[in-house]
Each structure stands twice: as C-alpha cells, then as structure tokens.
Structure 1
Amino acid sequence: MDKYINLIKLSVGTDSVDDLIDWQETHRLRFDDNLPRHVTRMWPKRDAEILKGGSIYWVIKGVVQCRQRILRLDEVRGEDGIRRCAIILDPEVIRTQAALKRPFQGWRYLKPEDTPPDLPKGRAQDDALPDDLNRALAEIGVL
C-alpha cells in the first residue's frame, strides 16, 4: 500500500462516540452525497498522502475513541467568501482502543505507527465504558 498519513481532531462538544454518530447522521442529510464531513479553515499540505488511505481519528473527552476513513477533500466557500476544506468522511465509524490525548487546536497529522489499533468488530458493539473508567484504563495502558 502507498504511504499515507492520518489526521487527528478533537470532537468538541461531543460526549461519546454515539453522540458523534448522531450529530453526523443529522447533518449529513443536508448534502447531495449524504456523506458526513468536517469543515476546517486550513487545507492540509499533505493532502495526497491523506487520500492514499488516511483516516481522521476523533478525540472525545480527552481520549482517542474512534476513526473514520477520509474519502476526499472538497473546497468550500462560506458566505464570507473564505476558502475552506471539507473533509469528506466514510459514514462508518470504527471504534479504536482508547488512547489519551492532550487538548490541541485544529487538526494534526498522525502517522500510522502512532495510531491506536481498531477494536475487533465484536468489541466495537459492546456497551461503552463510563468516561472516567475509559480514561483510567487508557492511562495505565489496559485498553
């Protein structure tokens, strides 16, 4: 497979993976392609690498909890005329092992070797752990 890079982003205002899924379900209906997206001010300089298989890893409540494959990057302009990047996402949200992440602004690049592994399909359907337990287990490296 060609070399690719991922993005990592805080999911601000989201309390759980299910919250993220619900928000995306509600908002993606506004678009002709019916795909979820995240619009950001900055266009990734490494866009070619992202589009070779990258995902966006979502940090929820200080913990990386899931990812979505990035399908494409679209240029969009707001009512203010400013060029922005719409990161078009696969609707499938893949839960990952929990990994602590300190707050940061915007998005960052994330190398494949630095990403938390995906949870097995069966475990992804398990009930979500309470936030404090999820964080504590991530701190000691159990999840």
Structure 2
Amino acid sequence: MPLHMTKIAYTSKTIEVLREWVEADDEALMTTRYLPKRHAEMIGGSLYWIMNHALVARCEILGFEQRPDGRWTIRLEGKLRLVEPRPKRAHQGWRYLQDADAPRDLDAGEEQGDLIPGKLLGKLNKLGLV
C-alpha cells in the first residue's frame, strides 16, 4: 500500500481553481524545500488537498526530482480526483497519510454537494452524526 501526503491548497480558493492548475498539463509540478524522508513509499500514492479544514481532492504522486537550487519538485498527475470530504486540521508543509486513513474517491456522477465547513464536519464527526 502506498503512503500518501496532505497539503493545504493555500493558493486555490475553490476546487475549480485547483482543478485549473492541476489539469493545465499532463503533470502538475509543486515545489517543496525538503524531500520527504519516506518519499520512495509515496510514489504511486496521492497528495490529498485540504480546503476549508477538509480533505477534498487528490492527485497521484508520480515522483520527486531535485532542482538546481536545492529544492525539490513533486511531480503530480495532471488529473484532480474528488474525494469524500473528511475533516482535517490545517498545518504547515505536508503530512503523511496512511492508506487506511485516506478518504475514498467519489464515484462518477457522485458530487460533493455543498461542502460542510471542515471545522463543523469535524465536530459532527466527533458526535457520530456524519
């Protein structure tokens, strides 16, 4: 089972804006300062995007490449897949996500609908209401 990572989609205010960036080419390239220690386990895994305190979408991780300036490029598949929204607190940088803890992809024709804000979704989840 591949290892995944989570990251805040801080430059995208909506899923549509994130989709435009990701799907502009066959690959989306994201820069990070440090190579994840477990990067070899992450190839074939996914980067799950956080918006409004919830995991909402993912992109497959194709690989990692070092840049001349010492930073790293994370190569992502140029396809954004929506997932079942799951509460996730904001954090800086990226965090690992085990496959068993990753939200499921939405089926074709299934929609996220109006997203419940992540903080509210987290509280409802704790109460066993979602």
With the shorter chain as reference, the TM-score category is 0.7 to 0.9
Of 41, 48, 58, 2:49 maps to: 58
- The alignment yields a C-alpha RMSD, in angstroms, of 2.1
What does residue 31 of structure 1 align with? none
Kept in 1, the 8 Å contact 2:84–2:112? The answer is no
Aligned identity (percent) is 29
- Correspondence for 1:73: 64
Query: What is the CA-CA distance between 1:100 and the residue it aligns to?
Result: 1.2
Secondary structure class of the residue paired with 1:12? coil
Per the normalisation by structure 1, the TM-score is 0.77
Structure 2 residues without counterparts, runs of 5 or longer: none
8 Å contact 1:98–1:138 — kept in the other structure? no
Map of 1:29-108 to 2, 5 A cutoff?
A: 34-51=26-43, 53-77=44-68, 81=69, 83-108=70-95
Aligned partner of residue 41 in structure 2, secondary structure: helix
Q: Could you give the per-residue CA deviations for residues 78-104 of structure 1, whole angstroms, max 9, x where no partner exists?
A: xxx3x1111111111110011111111
- Structure 1 unpaired stretches of 5+: 29-33
The 1:109/1:127 distance shift into structure 2, 3 A limit, reads: closer
1:114 aligns to what? 101
1:8–1:59: 8 Å Cα contact kept in structure 2?
yes
TM-score for both structures, normalised by structure 2? 0.84
AA aligned opposite 1:112: D
Count of matched residue pairs: 126
